[in-house]
Structure formats: C-alpha cells, structure tokens
C-alpha cells in the first residue's frame, strides 16, 4: 500500500526574509512515516521545513508554502491509497508579498491576511475509494466538536485530535474520532510509540 503523509509547518512570506509560520517540529509526521514503513507499506512524505532527516527509504517531497503543499498533495494523492495529514498548515497568508526586505519607516504597517488553500478539504474532494486520516489541533473546551466538524467538512474517515502541548514536544496524546463522533481510541507517550499505535488502528479499521 502507498500512503501519503504530510508533516511539518508551512511558511507564508511577507517579504523575501520574513514569514508567518508555526512551531511544528514535524516529529509526529516523521514518526508516522517510520510506522508506515515498519508496517510494510510505501511512505510518500510531503514535508514543510523542519530540522529532521527524512526516514530512510521513503519518497520525499519538500515544500515551503501552503500552496506548494496543496499542489504536491493534489499531484501525489491520486497515486496513493490513503493519506495521514499531520502538517501544521498556515490558515492565512499576507495578501501581498513584498520584494526584498521591508525597511522600518517609523510608522505602523498594516498587514492584510487572506485565507490559504484548504489542503485537507481538497484531498477530501478527490477522495474516491481512498481513505483520509486528518489531524486537528484544538485548544478550547469545544475541541471534540471542532474536530468532528473538521472530519465531516473535509470528508475524512477519522480525525486525530491533539493539543497545542504536542507542538515541538517529543511526546503526544491523541484521541481518534470516527465519523459517528465517537472517541474510538486514545494513545499517549513518545511520538514514535503513538505513531505505531495509530498505524495499528488504521490497519485494523481502514485497510480492508
């Protein structure tokens, strides 16, 4: 089986030097690549900029911006059997990218942001007979509701709910939610261990 995995952050540039991004380390996604390969499948990794070396033997595609991620996934997904989307995608980008480096002028700079492409929703639209497992990073009391809404809106087969404490950490705690809104599994520990548990759940419930 050929499985697409997205990992790491995206960057949205204000000028040629500065960008909007987040602190995603990519560790969860890279651990999932290792778990996918250990389970005997082919891993196709689309990764944002991280300080990690891609696991040996996987197919790697490097991207920076959300649009690059969207294009790469759109091109690769038709040749895959499923996707595990862990990438921490920027939801907004500056409307205008300025050439060079913006210099201080002594006055405030107003920055207009526009929404980026919804990568996971785009994959959901071309899903066909493939399966999709998305990740939802939620922080408030409505985390479960928000994650379920994401699952339905983006046509996922399962959504993995985790918290902001996972960002940059070696460990993680995840909750798997199915399309009925049920919490069907909870795993915690080192990200490598959680990745193996998640892959085992996918094997038992989605790879039929």
Provide the β-strand partners of residue 82. Answer: 3, 131
Contact yes or no for 84/3 (Cβ under 8 A):
yes
- List 22, 70, 129, 172, catalytic entry: 22
Contact yes or no for 16/94 (Cβ under 8 A):
no
20: left (phi > 0), else alpha (psi -120 to 50), else beta? Answer: beta
Based on the residue annotation, tell me whether 22 is a catalytic residue of this protein. yes
Q: φ and ψ at 98, to 5 degrees?
A: -85, 140
Query: What number of CA atoms fall less than 13 Å from residue 177's CA on the CB side?
Result: 22
Which two three-digit tokens encode residue 61? 């595609």
DSSP secondary structure letter of residue 8: S
Which two three-digit tokens encode residue 134? 């998305």
Nearest-angstrom CA–CA distance, 43 and 64: 20
- For the annotated catalytic residues, the residue numbers are 22
């Amino acid at each position: 089986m050929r499985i697409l995995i997205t990992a790491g952050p995206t960057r949205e540039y204000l000028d040629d030097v500065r960008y909007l991004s987040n602190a995603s380390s990519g560790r969860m996604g890279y651990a999932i690549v290792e778990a996918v390969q250990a389970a005997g499948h082919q891993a196709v990794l689309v990764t944002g900029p991280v300080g990690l070396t891609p696991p040996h033997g996987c197919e790697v595609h490097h991207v920076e911006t959300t649009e690059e991620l969207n294009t790469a996934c759109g091109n690769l997904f038709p040749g895959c059997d499923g996707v595990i989307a862990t990438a921490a995608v920027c939801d907004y980008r500056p409307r205008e990218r300025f050439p060079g480096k913006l210099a201080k002028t002594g006055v405030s700079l107003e920055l207009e942001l526009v929404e980026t492409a919804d990568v996971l929703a785009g994959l959901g639209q071309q899903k066909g007979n493939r399966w999709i497992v998305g990740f939802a990073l939620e922080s408030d009391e409505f985390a479960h509701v928000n994650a379920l809404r994401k699952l339905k809106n983006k046509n996922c087969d399962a959504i993995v709910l985790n918290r902001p404490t996972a960002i940059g950490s070696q460990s993680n705690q995840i909750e798997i939610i199915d399309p009925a809104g049920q919490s069907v599994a909870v795993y915690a520990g080192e990200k490598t261990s959680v990745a193996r548990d998640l892959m085992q759940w996918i094997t038992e419930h989605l790879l039929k």
